[in-house]
Chains A and B, each alone.
Chain A
Amino acid sequence: MTDNVAVIEYRDVTVNAGSNAILDRVSLRIETGERVAYLGRSGAGKTTALKVINGLVTPSSGELLIDGTPIAARPLPELRRRIGYVMQQPALFPHRSVLDNVATVPQLLGWPEERTRAEAVRLLDQLELPAATFGSRFPRSLSGGQQQRVAIARALIAAPEILLCDEPFSALDPLIRAELQTLFRDATRERAATTLVFVTHDVREALRIAERVIVFDEGRVVADTSADAFLTHEHPLVRRFVDA
């Protein structure tokens, strides 16, 4: 990889639903190891922008490149194993134990079992969901916050190059949300090579987790700024987010 190749690059990406453009000619570059928040109101296109990265949504026109290669040019399953994904819903596999849920991607990658287990235990402990207590339990017996920790561990275990998060904490109550934000920030900062793209409609969360904030509105990027400069940014929508 040379210096001028971005880990994620949108080239004029448009996504249409019927006659509506959910994403309207978006061009963006995200560099390796950046921590980016996609901020916007509901329906602004931020989730669609996220799903274009792992191919869950296919652009109607334009293209998305990862490490300089269009994702349309290679098999998606292989690519996706290098991209972590956490949604608002934990979406754990109900028929698999906590440890087996976390082991999903390592199994797809063919890791030896001891390595998978060691890494899963380490991650669950770090996320304060000790494997000794919770490892063999099934998702249904866990609280929402505990399930989301498993989902985060499941996304992080194979040290993904890119981690995509779609409002992972917005269904949790405020205290647990704050606790998880901190745990999440620490767990992801430790992995400096992982590029983070984090969708949220919560300004405080964006500033807490990201160092770059990209604001979406009506399918377009209306502001792209460092977290430090965000509070003084002059775009009217940013002002409204800040003042809210």
Chain B
Amino acid sequence: MNDLLRLTGEHVLIVAIAVSVAIIAGVPLGTFAHRRKRAGGIALRITDVVQTIPSLAMFGFLIPLPFIGGIGARPAIVALVLYSLLPIVRSTLVGLERVDPYVREAAVAMGMTDRQLLWSVELPLATPAIVAGIRIAAVTAIGVATIAAAVGGGGLGTLIFRGVAMVDTRLILSGALPAALLAIGADLVLTRVERAFARRRGEA
């Protein structure tokens, strides 16, 4: 039981760090992609390609790399950041693109600077979409993080891998069930946050 709590804590921590880093990098990247279509398109394609790499292969690629790679929690977090980036960048871009061009025109015509337009109009209006991206990123990361145990990343995957090695179904489930519950819980909570943001402007 102690083991379970510790590993769940590790799992949550790895995911939380990875998704936070992905938000800090992804929202500005999505904003940049919106302003500079061409460079943005390239950035988006790169995150797209990263997304298609199978997770076990990704951990494999990271093992020989210095600084960001190797064995342990660090490569696990790096891989999760890479996976979380795409949904967040894309949803930021989509959210910004969906802002009514007339609303943007009105804001500019009233004398907002580029920065004021971004912070007081575009980003608030894109927030529900950005939260949707964060939700997808978090749920994906919780799943992928179970595999991180393969490179010594810790977390609930440790129990699953141990269970597989020992052909012990109970041990496998003791890792798999909490991981699934975490994913469902994160999905529920973030869906609510998403709705709360939408409701604030009378949409839902």
Contacts of B102 in A (CB 8 A): 87, 89, 91
A190 vs chain B, min Cβ distance (A):
21
Contacts of A154 in B (CB 8 A): 110
Instruction: Verify if B108 is at the interface (C-beta below 8 Å from A).
Output: yes
Instruction: Verify if B111 is at the interface (C-beta below 8 Å from A).
Output: yes
B95 vs chain A, min Cβ distance (A):
12
Contacts of B113 in A (CB 8 A): 77
Option from B105, B108, B111, B125 in Cβ contact (under 8 Å) with A95: B125
If A108-B116, A138-B202, A141-B202 touch, whether A91 touches B110 (CB-CB below 8 Å) is no
Structural contact, B125 and A108, CB atoms closer than 8 A: no
Structural contact, A77 and B112, CB atoms closer than 8 A: yes
Instruction: Verify if A79 is at the interface (C-beta below 8 Å from B).
Output: yes
Structural contact, B108 and A140, CB atoms closer than 8 A: no
B165 vs chain A, min Cβ distance (A):
53
Size bin of chain B's contact surface: 20 to 34
Point out which of B109, B121, B125 has the most chain A C-beta atoms below 10 A from its C-beta: B109
If A91-B103, A108-B116 touch, whether A140 touches B201 (CB-CB below 8 Å) is yes
Option from A56, A92, A137 in Cβ contact (under 8 Å) with B108: A56
A22 vs chain B, min Cβ distance (A):
17
Number of interface residues of A (CB under 8 A): 30
If A93-B103, A94-B103, A95-B124 touch, whether A108 touches B201 (CB-CB below 8 Å) is no
Structural contact, B111 and A78, CB atoms closer than 8 A: yes
Option from B105, B112, B202 in Cβ contact (under 8 Å) with A108: B112
Smallest CB gap from B201: residue in A: A95
Structural contact, B111 and A79, CB atoms closer than 8 A: yes
Contacts of A92 in B (CB 8 A): 103, 106
Given contacts A76-B111, A85-B110, 15 further A-B contacts (CB under 8 A): A56-B105, A56-B109, A77-B111, A77-B116, A80-B111, A83-B109, A85-B109, A91-B103, A91-B106, A92-B106, A94-B103, A96-B201, A108-B110, A108-B116, A140-B201
State the A residues within 8 Å of B (CB): 54, 56, 76-83, 85, 87, 89, 91-96, 104-105, 108, 137-141, 151, 154, 164
The 6 closest A-B pairs by CB, nearest first: A81-B111, A138-B202, A80-B111, A85-B109, A91-B106, A91-B102
